[in-house]
Amino acid sequence: MVNMFFTYKESFQMVPQNNADRGLRKSRGRPRDWHDKTAQNTIKSLDRAMEVFEFLSEAQGKTLSELASDLSQSPATVYRILVTLEGRGLVEFDQTYQVWHIGPRAFVIGSRFLHRTSLIERARPLLRALMEDSGETANLGIEQKGHVLFVSQVETTASIRAFFPPGTLSRLHASGIGKALLAEMSIESVERFLTKAPLERFTEFTLTDRAAMLKDLEITRKRGFAIDGEERNLGMRCIAAPVFDIHGEAVAGLSVSGPTSRVGTEQIPALGQAVLAAAKQLTIAIGGKFPGQRITTSASLGSRAP
């Protein structure tokens, strides 16, 4: 449920106790010149080893001579690197075929990265940036049993705004995030959703006809982002884009939502691209991959007038 209300907030600023404390906090975990990526702050031998490691991860089953040739490095140098990585379990040598492969330890380390790539954690800074850039409330939602479950939100400071507290549920067909997720589902999954229960009407603009919904999803898929044009709540508009996981499947959606008085049809193209860019950044941040190239056309950017 979207609540429209007036709110007044007092701003305040947290001031560090003193400059010494602030300097101490900044120094933890990184030196003063942490941002300096010049050669003086890189370890050449480690960089060379990582080049071999990354190349081998993409080109499995390479002989020593093939690796040395492909990387334009001496066989002796590559061999020392491989033996060192082998000692850590990051690569392994196939005695039968005399080729090198990525090792099991690489999977273990990669899996640890997945543990810290919490969707909500990674989304928070992107939601805040999206809110600040658009001036509207930014939301993160996932699919749950035919509904969108809103799991995070950064509210705009505007007095009249959309409000989706974490835990709010909304039907997929009447939600920007919901339609963004539906558009990326298989035709079989969409058909199951459409036939499982009638498409409930919330406003005069809610899509309740199967053919109309399928057409809207096709446009959404080509455009890359979905538009909820007062389909859940009159006077409110939402623009959303999907977020993809490591398998290229849509697992979440990012959106901005606000009153039609501010989110008019003329704002849709720019807001759509901003949401799409944020969703792509989140996909990359969680180690996801994109299923294909998205196409944006001016002919498909229209929506209902406020």
pLDDT of residue 274: 96
pLDDT of residue 7: 36
- Residue 113's Cβ-side half-sphere holds a number of Cα atoms within 13 Å equal to 12
The lowest-confidence range among 6-15, 143-152, 220-229 is: 6-15
Q: State which H helix or E strand residue 148 sits in.
A: strand 147-154
pLDDT band at 164 (very low <50, low <70, confident <90, very high): confident
pLDDT averaged over the chain?
83
Give residue-wise pLDDT tens across range 61-112. 899 999 999 999 999 999 999 999 999 999 999 999 999 999 999 888 876 6
Q: Phi/psi of residue 243, each to 5°? A: -115, 135
Q: What residues does each domain of the chain span? A: 42-115, 117-300
Q: Are residues 194 and 210 in contact, defined by beta-carbon separation less than 8 angstroms? A: yes
- In sequence order, what DSSP letters do the residues of 218-247 get, joined into one string? HHHHHHSSEEEESSSSTTEEEEEEEEE-TT
CA torsion 253-227-273-124 (nearest 10°) is -30
Superfamily assignment of 117-300 in CATH?
GAF domain (3.30.450.40)
CA end-to-end span of the chain, whole Å? 19
Q: In the structure encoding, which two tokens stand for residue 143, read together?
A: 């699919």
Instruction: DSSP letter for 257, please.
Output: E
CATH fit for domain 42-115, picks 3.90.1150.10, 1.10.10.10, 1.10.760.10, 1.20.1250.20: 1.10.10.10
Q: In the structure encoding, which two tokens stand for residue 17, read together?
A: 């106790």
* Angle, vertex CA 173, rays to CA 171 and CA 178, nearest 5: 75
Average confidence (pLDDT) over 200-219: 95
Q: In the structure encoding, which two tokens stand for residue 28, read together?
A: 């933890």
In one-letter notation, the amino acid at residue 78 is V
**Three-state DSSP class for 264?**
coil
pLDDT of residue 2: 44
Per-residue CA distances from 188 to 122, 183, 210, 243 (Å): 31, 12, 14, 20
**Three-state DSSP class for 144?**
strand
Q: Are residues 99 and 61 in contact, defined by beta-carbon separation less than 8 angstroms? A: yes
Residue 163 has pLDDT above 60, yes or no: yes
Sign of the C-alpha dihedral, residues 136, 137, 140, 141? negative
Q: In the structure encoding, which two tokens stand for residue 294, read together?
A: 């998205």
> What is the value of pTM for the model shown?
0.63
The alpha carbon of residue 195 and the mean position of all alpha carbons in its chain are separated, in whole angstroms, by: 30
